[in-house]
Structure formats: structure tokens, C-alpha cells
Copies of this chain bind each other. A is one copy, B any other.
């Protein structure tokens, strides 16, 4: 199935991928191999697609646009490489992770290398403001991961959850959406509208991810159903379940002990899957999508805007 908003920037995405692979040139051949493995493992390139669509809409020159889109995709990939190592994940989208094949040290350094080259590409934008946003986004993502690591296996409030998914996901979507506006020196109102779009679809993206962790087929998602909860991570469907079922025995037990108990994990996963908690979470994701798309309302109607709206709809309708 051709998805029009992806095909619209297909050539540019190929240029982004080529630029990413070329970052290994002149360096250790193992890095080149690692970059190819990462790119061949797929991924929807949704972040650079957002940057490219908005950049084309604003008339940003192609070479600059491809450079910042590659910087953003590399930043994303570097964080995935370290995340998968830390979580001990062996598969991502059903493909072996780098850490499943390489020693931990080599995996840490490959992530570092990708950070270094992402920073280099960000500098090539020649926009100090974009570089600051870029470094700040990396700070936000890493800080969020550290908080998550230390808070593992403890009860997550609704506010904690939204704060966490902002750090983890929506912050980089914001940067993907504002990047072209920033380097094109758009007015602050336009940049704020673009930020709203990125924020809304980024928050929705992570909520849908967290829903798919419960509802997705293991073969499609590439990890066991309820894997977040098994790792001690409480997401929106679980928070909704707690709120809908304050008198449930398992919920009471969890709040009484203030921690997740392995014994109850499977029962809780089954209960969440059969509960309206999932549907409610989906409604919340839809609300974020609406708010995000509303951010585009001041922009002129054109093909790119249409593609950005389709992309937003794809985010809540995807199965992977």
C-alpha cells in the first residue's frame, strides 16, 4: 500500500539515508556496517518525513533540508541504540538489535559515534538556534530516560506519564516540526504553530505505541504483549485502568504496596486488554492529533499541508 505522504518525499528520504550512511566514511569499517544494519532494520523515517514536508512547504533549499532531517533521524537512532542496550532488547520491529549482535562496549561507542555525527550535521545547518534546540532536545530525551530508569517499578501518575512521553518522544517530534521553520527564519507565530503540530502528533504517537504494546500482535510489534508492564513501566492504558477500577483487588494491592508485583503482572495485562481503558487512551491520542492538526490552520492550504494532515491520521491508525 502506497502511503501518499511518504511517497511525496521519497527522493529526499533516500538522500537522507545516503547522507546518514556516508557519515561513516573515513572511519572504522565496523561503524559503516553498523549504520547500514540500523538503516536496513527499517523504521518509518517519520521524523525526517515531517521535517522534509514542512521544509518543502516553506521553500527551504534541498541540501540544507536533507542535512537537518538526517541530523534528526541520527539523533533518534543513537538514542534507540543506547535504549535497546539498556533495556536488553534483542529485537526491534522484529529485526535483531545492534546490542544483540555486538558487545556492550561496541554498542555504546556506536551510539556515541551516531551522536557525534548527528551533532556535526546539525552544525552544518549553520543556524545557531537550530543547534541549541538540537542539543536541548538531546538533553530532554536523555534526562527523561534517566528519570524513567530511576523511577522504574514505581507507580506512575498521569502527570508523570505525560511528562515522560513528552521527554521521550514528543520533544523530538517538536524539533522535527520546527527545524525547517527555525533555519528558514520564519516568524515566531509560525514556529509556534509548527511546534504545536509536532507536540500533538508526538504525544499521540507515543500513546498509540503504548496502546499497541497491549493490543498488537506479538509477530507485528516484535515483542511480547504487555512488555512495558513486564519491565515495570506503567503507561496510559494502565493508568486509565487504575482510574476506572479503584476497587479492583489487583489495583488495591499495587497501591497498598506502592509497587508492581510480578505475580500480578500477567493478570493486570489481561485485565487492561479487556477494559475500556484502551479505548479511552485512544480517545486521548485522537485529541492530541486534533490539537496538533489545529496548529496547521494558519498555514496556507497546499499539497504539503495535506500530507502533514494525512501523516497525523496515519499516526493513530497505524498497526506498528
Point out residues on A near B: beta carbons under 8 Å: 27-28, 30-31, 79, 82, 85-87, 103-106, 108-113, 115-117, 119-120, 122-124, 126, 128, 131-132, 134-136, 138-139, 142-143, 145-147, 149-150
Per the bound structure, the CA–CA distance linking A138 and B120 in Å amounts to 9
Complex contact A120–B139 (CB within 8 A):
yes
Known A-B contacts A131-B123, A131-B131; the reply to A109 vs B145 at CB < 8 A is yes
Complex contact B126–A139 (CB within 8 A):
no
Complex contact B28–A143 (CB within 8 A):
yes
Which among A104, A134, A146, A150 has the highest number of chain B CB atoms within 10 Å?
Answer: A146
Complex contact B123–A139 (CB within 8 A):
no
Complex contact A147–B28 (CB within 8 A):
yes
Known pairs A28-B146, A111-B112, A123-B135. 20 more at Cβ < 8 A?
A27-B143, A30-B146, A82-B109, A86-B104, A86-B109, A103-B149, A106-B149, A109-B149, A113-B139, A113-B142, A113-B143, A115-B115, A116-B138, A116-B142, A117-B135, A119-B138, A120-B132, A120-B139, A122-B135, A123-B131
Q: Which of B30, B119, B126, B150 contacts A135 (CB 8 A)?
A: B119
Known A-B contacts A28-B146, A143-B31, A146-B110; the reply to A116 vs B135 at CB < 8 A is yes
The 6 closest A-B pairs by CB, nearest first: A86-B105, A120-B135, A116-B138, A119-B135, A116-B139, A27-B143
Q: Which of B79, B105, B117, B132 contacts A149 (CB 8 A)?
A: B105
Q: Return chain B residues, CB-CB under 8 Å to A150.
A: 28, 30, 106
Per the bound structure, the CA–CA distance linking A28 and B146 in Å amounts to 7
Complex contact B146–A113 (CB within 8 A):
yes
Complex contact B112–A86 (CB within 8 A):
no
Complex contact A120–B142 (CB within 8 A):
no
Per the bound structure, the CA–CA distance linking A142 and B131 in Å amounts to 21
Q: Return chain B residues, CB-CB under 8 Å to A31.
A: 143, 146
Per the bound structure, the CA–CA distance linking A199 and B297 in Å amounts to 55
Per the bound structure, the CA–CA distance linking A79 and B112 in Å amounts to 9
Per the bound structure, the CA–CA distance linking A138 and B118 in Å amounts to 11
Per the bound structure, the CA–CA distance linking A190 and B313 in Å amounts to 57
Per the bound structure, the CA–CA distance linking A131 and B85 in Å amounts to 29
Per the bound structure, the CA–CA distance linking A30 and B143 in Å amounts to 10
Q: Return chain B residues, CB-CB under 8 Å to A124.
A: 132
Complex contact A123–B117 (CB within 8 A):
no
Q: Return chain B residues, CB-CB under 8 Å to A122.
A: 135
Complex contact A108–B135 (CB within 8 A):
no
Per the bound structure, the CA–CA distance linking A138 and B145 in Å amounts to 22
Q: Return chain B residues, CB-CB under 8 Å to A87.
A: 105
A90 to chain B, nearest CB (A): 16
Complex contact B112–A142 (CB within 8 A):
yes
Can you list 28 pairs linking A and B with CB atoms under 8 Å apart?
A28-B146, A30-B146, A30-B150, A79-B112, A82-B112, A85-B108, A87-B105, A103-B149, A106-B150, A108-B111, A109-B146, A109-B149, A110-B146, A112-B142, A113-B139, A113-B142, A113-B143, A113-B146, A116-B135, A116-B142, A117-B139, A119-B119, A119-B135, A120-B135, A122-B135, A123-B128, A126-B128, A128-B128
